[in-house]
Amino acid sequence: MPEGDTIFRAAQTLHRALAGSIVTRFESVFPALNRIDHDRPLAGRTIESVSARGKHLLMAFSGDLVLRTHMRMHGSWHIYRPDERWQRSAHDMRIVVQTSSFVAVGFNVPIAELLTGRDLSRHKELQALGQDLLAASFDEDEVLRRLRSHDGDAIADALLNQRIVAGIGNVFKSEILFIARIHPFQTAGALSDDDLRRIVGESRRQLRANVLTRSQTLSPAFGRRTTRSLDPGAKLWVYSRGGKPCRICGTSIQARKTGLDARLTYWCPTCQPSRSG
C-alpha cells in the first residue's frame, strides 16, 4: 500500500503539472463519476490544486468539485505528455484527467468520488483521520492523546491506524520502531510519554526525509531509505529482512503476520527488547 510520503509526493508532482490548467478530457470507468461528469462536465474546468491528506489524494476543480482517490494496495497515478505511451495497460486505467500539456492517469485506483466542498467538510472518513505527519499544522499532543485512547493496542497496530495518525504504512511502521528501539508488540499503554513522543517524532522525520530526498516523480521505484546509507542494498534496517542479521547487532531479524490484513512486522529482538508491564 502506498504510504504517506508516496501520496504526498504524487500530489506535489500532479499539482506542478496540472494546477492552473483547463481540463480538456475526463474519462472514468466509475459510473458514479460519469453521472456527475454528465451533469456537471469536468471538461472546461480549471484544476485549482492537487493535495494529499494522509493517504487520500484530492484534486480540486473550479466550480466546487473535488476528486478524492485512495490507492489502497495497488492503485497509482501516472502523468504523461499527450502523445506519450503509457507504461501500464489501458485495461488498468480507471481515471483520466487531461489538459493541453499533460495526461494524468489513475491506474487500478479502487476508490474514487467527486465531492463538493460541503461534502468534503462532512466526509466521515476524512474527518476521522488523525494528524497528517506531513502537514505543516501537525499537532503532536493530539497524536499522543489518540494513542492513549488505544492503550491496549500493540504499538505496531496503532501506528497503522489512520484515525490515530495519518501517513504511516507497513514499511515505515517497522523501520520507525526499530530506530526508536521499541518492540512492535508492546502495547501503547505500556510505553511512556517520552517513548511515544520519540516514536511520533521519528515518524515525522522519516516521512519528511523521504519526501525531500526521493525523486520528484509519482513512481515508488527508487525505494525508501531509512538507514542513510549510500549502499543501494542497505536502504532499510529491518523491513523485508526476516532471517537476515541485524545491521546493528547481528541478531536474526524476526517477522510475524498480524492484524486483519495479516501484514508482516519485522523487528530485531536484541535492539528492540520486549518490556514487562
Catalytic residues: 2-3, 55
d(Cα 218, Cα 100) in Å, to the nearest integer? 20
Q: What angle do CA 69, 127, 192 make, to 5 degrees?
A: 110
Cβ density class 69-80: b for 16+ within 10 Å, e for less: bbbeeebbbbbe
SS (H, E, C) 124-154: HHHHCCCEECCCCCCCHHHHHHHHHCCCCCE
250: left (phi over 0), alpha (psi -120 to 50) or beta: left
CB 174 within 8 A of CB 167: no
Residue whose cell numbers read 531479524: 253
